Amino acid sequence: MAKSITEARTDFPILSTEINDHPLVYLDNAATTQKPWAVIDSLRDYYAFSNSNVHRGGHTLAVRATEMYEAAREKVARFINAAHTHEVIFTRGTTESINLVASSFGEAFIQPGDEIIVSQLEHHSNYVPWFELCQRKGARFRVIPFTPTGELDPAVLQSMFTEKTRLLALNQVSNSLGTVNPLEVIIPLAHAAGVPVLVDAAQSVQHLAARDVQALDADFYAFSGHKMYAPMGIGVLYAKESWLEKLPPYQFGGEMIDQVSSTRVTFTQLPHKFEAGTPNVEGAVGLGAAVDYLNQFDPLELQAYEEDLLAYGSEQLRAIPGLTLYGNPKHRSSILPFNVEGIQHYDMGILLDTQGIAVRTGQHCTQPIMDALSITGTVRASLGLYNNREDIDALTRGIRRVMKLLRK
């Protein structure tokens, strides 16, 4: 029987703390999520009873740590329904996952005159690596703009594909607007044109039930642990086995070597071919614990709960005079981006913090979005599974207090 989402809040110890003499209202989940006791305990137990380097040792602790590390990989593979466990590569996070592909794919497959397409909705981490690759290789960097509602038009994207298009990189959910991109439409269009697709899933894998990489048919799928209730410093690159076999290594060193001599170097098999050096074992263990935690909830019920909360938040924010809620996509997830007329977004964030309310302000590493909207930044409230309507009510009360304070 699935765990009730309403029970989740008590699993997160930080939510019982006070900030500036107010109960914490944490609405900065797109930046990082808080951690449940299950994840915190997994890290403590690993260091207390199992700490060792992995793979190369024959002693008991080394074997135990290796088993825990590889068990986490298996959990992640099942969580996203990868066809093979070795299609899961551990990285430091989404940024490194994307840079891995940009480096290896770019080295192997991008030539002068080729084209790479990204969306205008991208985080800089899924924009700049491709821009720099195109600059380095003499390729053409192309951007599909978003519509006035903050969405991508698949027909426009389809018209951009040419015989020179080598890759499409886009997010599943925009970290600034919350737009859910229709991958079920976009990926088949790309594949029909012979174009592989990299998906930035940093803002989706913890919110959407649609994380089955085989059903999506994503070629590459990248996400971070810390945005899905796991520790910082651990992330995942999923890639189809057929691509991983063709890509050259991203880094060189221990773990990823098969044979070394003065005349020849060969590399080990997947997934370790892409995991040079000492890995973040405790991070992987914590990620595995986070996957176990999330698996307690029915994914469709979790998505429905968060969508209901998002709809309530949208309604309450739109009722505030002078407040602009950016984007109006048909499908939005977890993100409420806004500004209040006459109040700088940074000032709003600081004054909400005095009331114990944590939000994020600025450009959110999406300057192309801000430029398109002709704004310098937004206040971003972002939801997690432990948030509730009381948090939304506290946010709206807090905004009204700030407005009253600054408009005296």
* Burial per residue of 208-233, b for 16 or more beta-carbon CB atoms within 10 angstroms, e otherwise: bebbebeebebbbbbbbbbbbbbbbb
Per the annotation, the verdict on 134 as an active-site residue is: no
Is 36 contained in some domain? no
State residue 259's pLDDT score.
86
Is 35 part of a structural domain of the chain?
no
For 378-395, the pLDDT digits (tens) are 999 999 999 999 999 999
On whether the CB atoms of residues 214 and 238 are closer than 8 A, the answer is no
One domain, residues 155 and 61: yes
Last residue of a domain, one of 294, 328, 345: 294
* Per-residue pLDDT reduced to its tens digit, 221-247: 999 999 999 999 999 999 999 999 999
Same domain, 132 and 269: yes
Cα–Cα distance, 242 to 81 (Å, whole number): 16
Spot the catalytic one: 365, 370, 372, 406.
365
Counting the structural domains of the chain, the total is: 2
Q: Are 171 and 204 in contact, with CB atoms under 8 Å apart?
A: yes
Identify whether residues 259 and 335 lie together within a single domain.
Answer: no
Q: Domain ends where: 294, 317, 332?
A: 294
Name residue 160's amino acid: M
Q: Show the low-confidence residues of the chain (pLDDT under 50).
A: none
Cα–Cα distances in Å, from 265 out to 183, 260, 293? 39, 5, 41
Rounded CA-CA distance 187/180 in Å is 14
Cα angle 384-372-365, degrees, rounded to a multiple of 5: 45
Domain that holds residue 222: 41-294
What pLDDT is attached to residue 408?
Answer: 66
Q: Are residues 286 and 303 in the same domain?
A: no
The rounded distance, in Å, linking the Cα atoms of 325 and 339 is 7
Same domain for 270 and 138?
A: yes
Task: Tell me, yes or no, whether 213 and 115 share the same domain.
Answer: yes
**Last residue in a domain, options 294, 310, 341:** 294
Do 305 and 390 lie in a common domain? yes
**What pLDDT is recorded for position 265?**
84
Helix pair 299-318, 389-406: axis angle to 10 deg: 20
Instruction: State which amino acid sits at residue 109.
Output: F
Residue type (1 letter), 156:
V
Task: Say what the pLDDT of residue 120 is.
Answer: 98
- Give yes or no: residues 11 and 112 share one domain: no
The alpha carbons of the chain give a radius of gyration, in whole angstroms, of: 22
- Six token digits for residue 100: 């891995």
- Indicate whether 265 and 328 sit together in one domain: no
Residue 62 lies in a domain: yes
